[in-house]
Structure 1
Amino acid sequence: MEIGGTYEHMRQQSSARFSPPYPDGGISWGGAESNARLRFVDPQYGFITPIGTHFTMGFRGNIIEDVRISPQIEPLLLDDALKVVLDLQEQWRRGGWMDKKQKKFPPFADTPQWRAHLRDAPNGRATFWYAGDKYQATLTMHRFKDRKHPEEERYKIILSVSKPWTPYP
């Protein structure tokens, strides 16, 4: 998947099945019809997610403008959710992405303080990453009541990537 690429090209190159475009005024959207892995194609800033759900893309005309995925098949235990977000952040660091909003939205960490923040935040926590002035990613994680595991503390992760929508700090 490539921001600025065409939805049709992405559908043709993907091993996952994607829906035809769903128009909604000037902006359209489409999504994976099954669980899929996001392989974000960029020579410098590329990364790969685990297999996930809720994989959707927004596009104008046939040009992809943004992507959103939950990089997990089901809500995860805290240890497993932290592994996913820490791996994504490490891929971004290696690729040159910057976490420029550290004071207000620091990157995820596996510390007692972060674990407490995640347990106590009703809307979860977010971190923002920038790939120069080319892309912006938002990574969020929040507690999730899972009907399959009602007695367990589970977490849901959401990743959104697009061209920057907030000024590059």
Structure 2
Amino acid sequence: MNLPSQVNWRHAALVLFAAVLLVGMIRFFTSTPEIALMLGEPWEDMRQRSSAAIAPAIPGEIWGRLPKSDARLRFIDPQYGFITPPARFLAVSFDNERVGSIRMSPQIEPLLLDDTLNVVLYLQKQWSNAGWLPIRVASNPPFADTPEWRARLRNVNRGGKSYWRAENKYQVMLVVGRFKDYRHPTEERYLITLELSRPWGLP
């Protein structure tokens, strides 16, 4: 009987598979270019920390920059930090050579509805776990994977919007709407917009 050797072979195969999977995950998370920042910090600190290239700020100007490649956002606040999926559009504003606000679409291309919900729920889970609170919930409740939310998002005249706030430090607006993607004319595709800034408006 070769049972012990067969068990050992299967154990070794499982260990090897787990190791390959772990290496793949490490490579993915360490090789994805990112913009890593804090609101209000010096622009050059953000540039030096980020693995995605982004141009210098313009002294004395209020403007913005885009990374020179697809990149994810890593917001590095020690309590309220979060990470987005890679984005093709990620605009960072500056004022007096300091990081201002962020406007981005946390996706590489317009997404199908299931994938869209996965992204927004992933972001909302990070915010909730870090202590962010949803605001304006009477008119703009958090996104959820429910028949009601799916019907609302499929309606080209409605879409969805959710607001989150971290004390009086930060505010996020998350918007989802239908997007006509000419590369996939028979599919329902969606665009996500995320805005991160200092709090504005009323809760």
User: Judging changes above 3 Å, is the alpha-carbon distance between structure 1 residues 58 and 6 closer, same or farther for their aligned structure 2 residues?
Assistant: same
Asked if residue 139 in structure 1 is aligned to residue 156 in structure 2, the reply is no
1:16 aligned to 39, 45, 52, which one? 52
Q: Say if 1:99 and 1:128, in contact at 8 Å, map to a contact too.
A: yes
- Report what 2:17 is aligned to: none
Q: Distance in 2 between matches of 1:6 and 1:148?
A: 40
- Could you list the structure 1 runs, at least 4 aligned residues long, displaced by more than 6 angstroms after superposition: none
Give the alignment partner of residue 57 of structure 1, picking from 81, 92, 95. 92
Superposed CA deviations along residues 116-139 of structure 1, whole A, max 9, x for unmatched, are 001114252110000000000000
Distance 2:124 2:134 in 1: 9
| Residues 115-124 or 85-94, more deviating | 115-124
> Does the Cα contact within 8 Å between 1:77 and 1:152 map onto a contact in 2?
yes
Q: Is the CA contact 1:5–1:64 (under 8 Å) kept in the aligned structure 2? A: yes
Give percent identity, aligned residues only: 51
Which structure is higher in strand share? Answer: 1
Normalised TM-score (structure 2): 0.78
1:148 to 149, 168, 183: 183
Task: State the superposition RMSD in angstroms.
Answer: 1.5
For residues 91-141 of structure 1, what are the alpha-carbon distances to aligned partners after superposition, in whole Å with 9 as ceiling and x for unaligned? 000000000211110000000000000111425211000000000000001
Change (3 A) 1:4 1:111: same
Aligned residues: 167
1:101 equivalent to 2:151? Answer no
1:74 equivalent among 99, 103, 109: 109
How far did residue 52 of structure 1 move?
0.7
Local SS of the residue matching 1:76? coil
Q: Which runs of 5+ in 1 are unaligned?
A: none
Higher normalized contact order (CA 8 Å, seq sep 6+, divided by chain length):
1
Name the counterpart of 2:151.
116
TM-score (norm 1): 0.94
Alpha carbons of 1:71 and 1:12: their partners in 2 closer, same or farther (altered >3 Å)?
same
- Greater helix content: 2
When structure 1 is superposed on structure 2, of 39-48 and 9-18 the one drifting more is 9-18
The reply to whether residue 160 of structure 1 matches residue 198 of structure 2 is no
Q: CA deviation at 1:147?
A: 1.5
Equivalent residue letter for 1:44: Q
**Contact between 1:41 and 1:47, CA under 8 Å: does it hold in 2?**
yes
Larger Rg: 2
Q: Separation in 2 of the partners of 1:108 and 1:128?
A: 10
Cα distance in 2 for partners of 1:126, 1:13 equals: 31
Task: Tell me: CA distance 1:22–1:76, structure 2 relative to 1, closer, same or farther (3 Å).
Answer: farther
